[in-house]
Amino acid sequence: MTPQIDDRRPRPALRPFTAPSDTPPLPQDPSPSPDTEDYDDLGHAPNGHSTPGQLTDSVSGGDSPRHRTYDDVRTPSLDDAPSGHSRRRSVLVNLERAPKKGGYILTADDPEIRRLLRRGIERENSSKDSAKSRRGFRDLVFTRQFSTFDRQNQRSYDSPFRGFFTLFWLAMALLLIRIAARNWRTYGTVFGANEIWKMMFERDVAVLLATDGVMVAVTVFGLLLQKLILKGYLRWERSGYLIEHIWQMAFLGITLYWTVYREWPWTHTIFLVLHTMVFLMKQHSYAFYNGYLSQIYRRKQLLEEKLRELKDKVPAGNPDSPVTTSFEKAAQSELRQRRRSASKGGSTNLLQEKSAISSIAAAIASGEALDAEQLEAFTGVIEDEIESLQTELRGKATTDSSAYPNNLTLANFADWTVLPTLVYELEYPRQDKINWWYVAEKTTATFGVIWVMMVISQAYIYPPVAETVRMKEAGMPLRERAREFPWVVSDMMFPMLLEQLLAWYVIWECALNVLAELSCFADRGFYGDWWNSVSWDQYARDWNRPVHVFLLRHVYHSSISSLHLSKGAATFVTFLLSALVHELVMLCLFKKVRGYLFILQLSQVPLVSLSRTRLLKGRALLGNVIFWIGLFVGPSLLTSLYLIV
C-alpha cells in the first residue's frame, strides 16, 4: 500500500517510525461550513428524486459496544496475525520522493502498518462521505428574513438607493394622473373606454373562482395516497410512484382543457393556468418527500424486527473461543461501507443491498450460531442504523408531532397548501403572531398595483394589440403585417417592461408577503437582487426563488440521480422543462403553437456559457447591460411575434 503524503519538509530515505499506543486518525480535510451553498454536493437517490438529508455513518471505531464493528470482534485471519511481539516499539518504513513536487511515497512491508494505514484512510473516507451526506437537502435552508423591498428590512430601508424606490412610485402616480386627464379629455371619464375591466369582470368570474376552489380542494388526493402507503396498501417505490405521476398528468390536463372549453379571455386563463402550475409543483414536492420518508420508515420497521430477533438469540460458544460463521466470509469492505445503502433512497430489501446490514440480515436469517461479542457488535450496527433513520424521519421537525408519519394529517396538509413555498419540509421557521396592520398594508398594495397594471394595459398595450387583431381579421397578408412589426414592438416596449416589473412586484413582494404573514411563515426570501444580474443563470436563480428551489431539488438533482446525467446535461434538462412550461402558457393564451418563447428560453443556455468565457467573465457592468437589454426588448418582441405571425 503506497499512500501519497504531501509534506514539503525534507525527509531521510529510511528512518524508524515509532507507533504510539493511541495513534490518532489521519488528518482530515476541514468540512465546509453548513452555510455554504454547494448544490452539486447533494446526494442522489435512484428513485427519481433527491433524498432530503442523506443518512450519515453511524458505526465507527471506539470502545463502546454499540460503536464496535464486526471487524473488531471477528475471528482473526492470517493477514491480521500479530507479529510475535505484544507491542512493537518501531516499524521500518521507506520514504521516496514522489513525482509531484513536495510529495513523498511511504512504503512498508509490514502487515501492522498496512492495517493501520488502511483503517485510517477508510475512517477518513467514511467521515468525508458522512459529512457530504449530512449536507444533502440541508443546503435548502429556510431562515427568518424579510424580502428586499419590505419596509421591515432594515438593511434595504437604510440603503442609499432608497430614494429611487420612492421616485419610481412617484412617477407611477404622475403617470396615472396623466392617463386620467387624457381619458377625461377624450371620453369624458377618467376610466376611458375601460375594455380591460370589462374583459376581466363581465363573464364567468364566479365560475373561475369556483373552478379554482375545486382545483385546490382535489389536491388532498396526495394526502390520501400517502395514507394508503403508510398503512401498507401501496408501496411508494412501486405503484405509489406511478399513481402519483398519473394523477399529476390528469390534474394538469383536465384543468387546461377546462380553460379551453369555457373559452375564457386571457385574464381568466393566465390566472388559472399559473395557479394550476403552482399546485402541481406543490403536489409533486409533497408526494416525493413523503414517499421517500415512507421508504425510510419501512426500512426502520424491518430493522427493528431484525433487532428483536438478535436480542432473542442465545449466545453460543465460549467467549475466549470465537465462533466461526459463514458471515466471516463476507467482504470486510461491506461492513465499513454499510452506509452506502442509506444513499439509495432507504432500501427495504435488506438481503439484496450491498451493505453490512445485508450481511447481518443474512447471518440472522441463516440461523447460525453467534457468540456474545458478535451479537453485541451486530446489535450496535443495527441500533445505530435505526437511530440514523429516526433522525432522517424527524428531519427539521422540532417536535414529534411534526415528524413522519405524524405529519400526515389534514391540518398539516392544509397548512402546507397555503404556505408561500413550493418545497415541502416537515417544519419551517415561523413567527409568533400575525401583524394585521401589515396584512392590510400589503393587501392594499396588491390591489393598488393590479389597478395600476390595468390602467397601463388599457392606455398603452390594448391599442396596439387591438390593431394587430384588426389587421388579421381584415385579411391583411403576412408580408404587410410584418411591415408593422417593428412599430408594434417599439410601441409596446416601455409599457411591457413596466408591466413585467409591476407583475413581479405584485406577486413576489405583495401577494406572497400577505400569505406569509397570514400563515406566520418567517422566511420571506422570495427573490434576490435579480436587477443586478450579470448572466441569465443568475437571473433565473434570483427573480423567483420558490420555483428555483423546486427545480433545483426535483428536476436538476433528480435528473442526475435517476437518469445519471452530468451536471451540464442536468442543467439543460432543467432549462428545457422550464421552456416547455412557458411555451405551454403561451399556447393557453394565444391558442396556437409557435415556439418563440421556447426558443428564447433555450437560448439562455449558450448565453450562460458565453457569460463564463473570457469575453464576459469579470465584466459585471457589461453583463448587466446585456441582461437589461434582453429584459427590455424580450417581452414586447415575443408579444408582437405571437400577435402578428
Active site residues: 582
Distance CA 54, CA 131 (A): 10
Closest CA to 269 of 277, 465, 640, 631: 277
Q: One-letter amino acid identity for 526? A: F
Contact 118, 80 (CB under 8 A): no
Q: What is the number of other CB atoms lying within 10 angstroms of the CB of residue 316?
A: 14
Contact between residue 635 and residue 496 where contact means Cβ atoms under 8 Å apart: yes
Q: Is the peptide bond before 65 cis (omega within 30 degrees of 0)?
A: no
Q: How far apart are CA 605 and CA 246, in angstroms?
A: 30
How far is C-alpha 56 from the chain's CA centre? Answer: 19
H helical segments located in 407-556: 410-418, 436-456, 462-473, 478-504, 512-518, 536-542, 545-551
Is residue 636 within a helix (H) or strand (E), and if so which, with residue range?
Answer: helix 620-644
393/377 Cα distance (integer angstroms) = 24
User: What are the cell numbers at 114?
Assistant: 498496512
CA atoms of 30 and 102, how far apart (whole Å): 21
* CA gap 401, 399 in Å, rounded: 5
φ, ψ of residue 625 to 5 degrees: the values are -65, -45
Q: Classify residue 397 by burial, with Cβ atoms within 10 Å: 0-12, 13-18, 19+.
A: middle
| Integer-rounded Cα radius of gyration of the chain | 32
Query: Could you give the residue ranges of the DSSP H alpha helices within 347-435?
Result: 356-366, 372-394, 410-418
Tell which phi-psi region holds residue 511, choosing left (phi > 0), alpha (psi between -120 and 50) or beta: alpha
For 219, the 3-state DSSP assignment is: helix
572 and 563 Cβ atoms separated by less than 8 Å: no
Apex 226 CA angle, 361 and 546, nearest 5 = 110
d(CA 410, CA 332): 47
* Alpha-carbon dihedral angle through residues 409, 415, 417, 418, given to the nearest 10 degrees: 170
Helix and strand element counts for the chain (H, E): 24, 4
Q: Residue 203 is placed in which grid cell?
A: 363573464
CA torsion 42→44→48→52, rounded to 10°? Answer: -60
| Whole-angstrom distance, CA of residue 282 vs CA of residue 113 | 55
Tell me how far apart the alpha carbons of residues 247 and 324 are, in angstroms, rounded to a whole number: 53
**DSSP letter assigned to residue 430:** B
Give me the phi and psi of 104, to 5 degrees please: -130, 150
Cβ(514)–Cβ(439) below 8 Å: yes
Per the listing, cell 383536465 goes with 254
